[in-house]
Structure 1
Amino acid sequence: MDAVLFPGARRSVGLAYVLWALFGLFGLHRLYLGRNASAAGMAAITILSVPLIWSGLGLLGFVATGTWALADALLIPSMAREVNEAIPAAA
Structure 2
Amino acid sequence: MLAMTLPAARRKSVGLAYVLWALFGLFGLHRLYLGRNLSAAGMAAITVLSVPLIWSGLGLLGFVTTGTWALADAILIPGMAKALNTPVAAAP
Structure 2 residue runs of 5 or longer lacking an equivalent are: 1-8
* C-alpha separation in 1, matches of 2:61 and 2:54: 8
* Percent identity over paired residues: 81
In the TM superposition, structure 1's runs of 4+ consecutive aligned residues that sit over 6 Å from their partners are: none
* C-alpha separation in 2, matches of 1:25 and 1:67: 9
TM norm structure 2: 0.85
TM norm structure 1: 0.86
Q: Figure out how many residues of one structure are paired with residues of the other and give that number.
A: 81
* Alpha-carbon displacement from aligned partner over 1:21-46 (angstroms, at most 9, x marks no partner): 00000000000000000000000000
Q: Match of 1:15, as an amino acid?
A: L
Higher RCO (CA 8 Å, separation ≥ 6 residues): 2
Q: CA RMSD in A?
A: 1.4
* Alpha-carbon displacement from aligned partner over 1:32-87 (angstroms, at most 9, x marks no partner): 00000000000000000000000000000000000000000000000000000128
Aligned to 1:4: none
For the pair shown, the structure with the greater C-alpha radius of gyration is 2
Aligned to 1:71: 72
Aligned to 1:57: 58
